[in-house]
A and B are shown apart, each in its own frame.
Chain A
Amino acid sequence: MNDKSNNLLEMRGITKYFPGVVANSDVDFDVRYGEVHTLLGENGAGKSTLVKILFGLYQADKGDLLLRGEAMEISSPSDAISSRIGMIHQHFMLVPTLTVAENVALGMPSTRRPLTDLDKVSKKISEISEEHGLAVDPAEIVEHLSVGERQRVEIIKALYRDAELLVLDEPTAVLTPKEVDDLFVILRRMADNGRGLIFISHKLREVMSLSDRITVLRNGQVVGATTPGETSREELAQMMVGRAVRLTPDLPPNEVKESRLSLNNVSVKNDSDTLAVDNVSFEVRAGEILGIAGVSGNGQREIAEAIAGLRPIEPNGLIEINGSNVSDTSTRSRRDQGLGFIPEERVPDGAIPEFTVEENLILVDHETDDFVNRGLFSFDKISEHSSQLVSDFNVKTPSVNTPTSSLSGGNIQKVILARELSASPSVLLACQPTRGVDIGAAEYIHNRLIEQRELGTATLLISEDLDEVLGLSDRVAVMYEGKVIAVVSGEDAGREKVGLLMAGITEAVDA
């Protein structure tokens, strides 16, 4: 049965309608034993809908589902689970206040009904942990776990239920590169043991490295099926978006002028009061993009917050914007000096989800004379301004009065970008500007950042996406354990070289 040529799952002609939308249209998809089959597509392409149908969370309007060669009706998650289908959801399906063991035991029959048998569950968790290299303490409460650990709990949940077909819906979205690497080792091993894996992602590099086969969805339809050996990232991107996409932006030559943002001996403490940024100095000049590369947690977040005025710096340090010392000034006064800020967390730091698009667009400027007339909002002007920005920045929203929370991540990011760029910042601090954003939207955001560079903005780009940093930066500063251990020019900054620096290895590079 576990023959690799056999189909574990076959979905034929799956069609699913939502009010006003065809989420899946006549989709064929199959998974063999022992393979990782990737579902690739932009947000809204229908990947999640398809696997939710498989898991019994939605019912297909048309189509057949065959599991191990037999037609199946899966009408609820419990049907799916008893058919040995496991799902790792994009948003963790964990109860944060419960322990790991309780989360795993949830919904499972107990050997000591009606009481729970958490000791037995814990024991089995430890066995699974050991077998698959998924280290986690069964007695720990989930809200105390790191994101990577939570991911492991999700996988343990599926393995505990003896899942043979495992669906992973964007499992890497919240992971650090290191965690992604670890995860892939585990996933590959699980496939090699004969399980079938459905991997959902829109990150092309990951898809190319993990998949055995790739099926691409666009607008609810299958637009291509291929394997990593037969295709390239560019080709996949084109299939996803439906047009040619530049994955790595071209950086035209640009004239670099005066220093706009400078940091001198800046040290910053993190929430647990230890030094997260250790005596860092650099400057960003007009017309250049300085990229900061580094593995997550090496002080990037803290330095961004320090520059934005959200986190105090240690005495002796100095932050200057356009020549004036802003080390101890408020966020507002830094903005008045010309600072624009795209925060790492789109929501709630960058935009208030309950507010409308319009309200988020004037969040910073709402006190200026442009929008206020004798103490009252001038709604005509606000609406005119907002509509202009929505069309300039290509924000896909039903109207400017739509709650921001109902927009996709990419469009929320465009709203933030529109607000920050429309103020013509002289210094722009952009943190993870394309994280979790569609390829199309990412390309757009990249072009906008390059446009700002041509307008003479000094941009500090902080990103965990190494391709992004390398493609956009005139210079790359690499942070490791709170220090800037090297600043290399864009041309010199090869993937490999910067990768080594990110791991703290300077010797090989200096040579």
Chain B
Amino acid sequence: MNDFFTSGVLVATAASAIRLATPYLLASLGETIGQRSGVLNLGVDGVMLLSAFFSYWTVLQTGNLWLAVVVALAVGVIMGVLYGIITVFFEATQGISGIGIFIFGLGFSDLMFRQQVGTPKPVQRLPNVDIPVLADIPYIGEPLFQRSLLTYLAFALVPLTFLLLNKTTFGLNIRSVGENPQAADSLGVSVERTRFAAILIGNTLAGLAGAALVLQLGIFQPNLTQGMGFIAVALVYFGAWRPLGVMGGALLYGLVNATVLQWKSLGIIPVSISDLAGMAPAIVTIGALILLARRVNAPAALTKPFSRH
């Protein structure tokens, strides 16, 4: 255990936690915006897989990481438009449609990978960018300020999402259509447009999450996400639909994962119980949820399609 409390190991654990949390955070923030508007998107994992593949493929073809990020954003937008049309204009059942998107993303990314790539080939990874001055702070400089631009973006999006939801007219519209779309409609707020926009933002962030995942790893494999998108949805509930809470959930999940891996490496968790310890992130996160549980209700109109008649 003493080995764990050395600065080098703690710093590495923190850095690992932040890397692990980044894709979750991006996807969960997007899902938060969507859910606050009353739309549940269970297709996050599928969108992440698609964007992860296409941004990986872009790097493989062009070697251009930023083009890869743009491609991931584009995949998010396209999937957002698709999901928006399905759920907002056709008022489809959100749970089923989301699963449909997931299955499509899983299958299509797999198919494209086999056809276009075949054997996993490593590509260059997102470089870490030191933030001047801050990066040199002992202990916290390395885990917090020597990270990739997508990680900085993910964490910058936490206050931005908060501002968007709570301080802008658009955010007011989002919250209203998620709680009482009839009321918003009666005041001339377009429920359809607001939800569509929220879905678009949500899927775009899911796309970015896919890029963050694959560009951190520098390699793609079928079903790369292993259900991360579903955990991202769960983290929205954990975070009680608030950006800060969602960030807390993503960080906790990342930190427990990183700590468990570190403890396994150090032998603090013996091999004999290592499979059991793999459940720790889920257990700790659920435990924290129970302990911290405030009486926060989901947006009242979540999963309910809106129509005037």
A→B interface (CB under 8 Å): 55, 57-58, 76-78, 80-82, 87, 89, 91-98, 102-103, 105-110, 113-116, 157
Contacts and interface: CB of A to CB of B under 8 A. Distances in A.
B142 interface: no
A114 B185 contact: no
A106 B168 contact: no
Given A95-B179, A116-B167, A157 B308 contact: no
B180 A93 contact: yes
Contacts of B169: 105, 109-110, 113-116
A81 B190 CA distance: 13
Contacts of A58: 308
A58 B309 CA distance: 9
Contacts of A80: 188
Contacts of B179: 95-98
B186 interface: yes
B175 A98 contact: yes
Contacts of A91: 182
B183 interface: yes
B146 interface: no
Interface in B119-146: none
Nearest to B175: A98
B191 to A, nearest CB: 11
B122 to A, nearest CB: 42
Given A77-B187, A97-B179, A106-B189, 11 more contacts: A57-B308, A81-B187, A87-B186, A93-B183, A93-B187, A105-B169, A106-B183, A106-B184, A107-B187, A115-B169, A157-B187
A55 B186 CA distance: 8
Contacts of A82: 188
B182 A93 contact: yes
B168 A115 contact: yes
Interface residues of B, number: 21
Q: Which of B171, B173, B180, B186 has the most CB of A within 10 A?
A: B186
Contacts of B183: 92-95, 103, 106
Contact of A81 (B171, B176, B188, B300): B188
Contacts of A93: 180, 182-183, 186-187
Contacts of A157: 187
13 contacts: A57-B185, A77-B186, A77-B187, A95-B179, A98-B179, A106-B176, A106-B184, A107-B173, A107-B189, A110-B169, A114-B170, A115-B167, A116-B171
B168 A114 contact: yes
Interface in B254-309: 300, 308
Contacts of A108: 187
B176 A77 contact: no
Contact of A95 (B171, B176, B188): B176
Q: Which 6 A-B pairs have the closest CB atoms?
A: A78-B188, A107-B187, A93-B183, A93-B186, A107-B189, A95-B179
A89 B186 CA distance: 9
A195 to B, nearest CB: 19
Contacts of B189: 106-107
Nearest to A107: B187
B172 interface: yes
Nearest to A91: B182
B180 A95 contact: yes
Contacts of B175: 95, 97-98
B193 to A, nearest CB: 12
Contacts of B167: 115-116
Contacts of B182: 91, 93
A114 B174 CA distance: 13
Nearest to A113: B169
A107 B188 contact: yes
Nearest to B168: A114
A109 B169 CA distance: 8
Nearest to B299: A97
A75 to B, nearest CB: 11
A465 to B, nearest CB: 29
B62 to A, nearest CB: 35
Contacts of B180: 93-96
Given A95-B180, A115-B167, A115-B168, A106 B173 contact: yes
A87 B187 CA distance: 9
A76 B188 contact: yes
A78 B173 CA distance: 14
A116 B168 contact: yes
Given A98-B175, A98-B176, A98-B179, A107 B168 contact: no
A107 B170 contact: no
Contacts of B187: 77-78, 81, 93, 106-108, 157
Contacts of A81: 187-188
A114 B173 CA distance: 12
B172 A106 contact: yes
A81 B187 CA distance: 7
A77 B172 contact: no
Contacts of B172: 98, 102, 105-106, 116
Contacts of B171: 116
Interface in B156-202: 167-173, 175-176, 179-180, 182-189
B64 to A, nearest CB: 32
A57 B188 CA distance: 10
Contacts of A107: 173, 184, 187-189
A58 B173 CA distance: 22
A80 B187 CA distance: 9
B190 to A, nearest CB: 8
A102 B168 CA distance: 11
B176 to A, nearest CB: 5
A91 B180 CA distance: 11
A24 to B, nearest CB: 15
Contacts of A95: 175-176, 179-180, 183-184
A301 to B, nearest CB: 24
Contacts of B185: 57, 77
Contacts of B186: 55, 57, 77, 87, 89, 93
A62 to B, nearest CB: 19
Nearest to A105: B172
A116 B175 CA distance: 13
Interface string B64-79: 0000000000000000
A343 B173 CA distance: 38
A216 to B, nearest CB: 26
A6 B179 CA distance: 41
B184 to A, nearest CB: 6
A77 B185 CA distance: 7
A102 B170 CA distance: 12
Q: Which of A77, A92, A93, A106 has the most CB of B within 10 A?
A: A106
Contacts of A109: 169
Contacts of B184: 95, 106-107
A76 B183 CA distance: 13
Nearest to B169: A110
Contacts of B173: 106-107
Interface string B22-51: 000000000000000000000000000000
A149 to B, nearest CB: 16
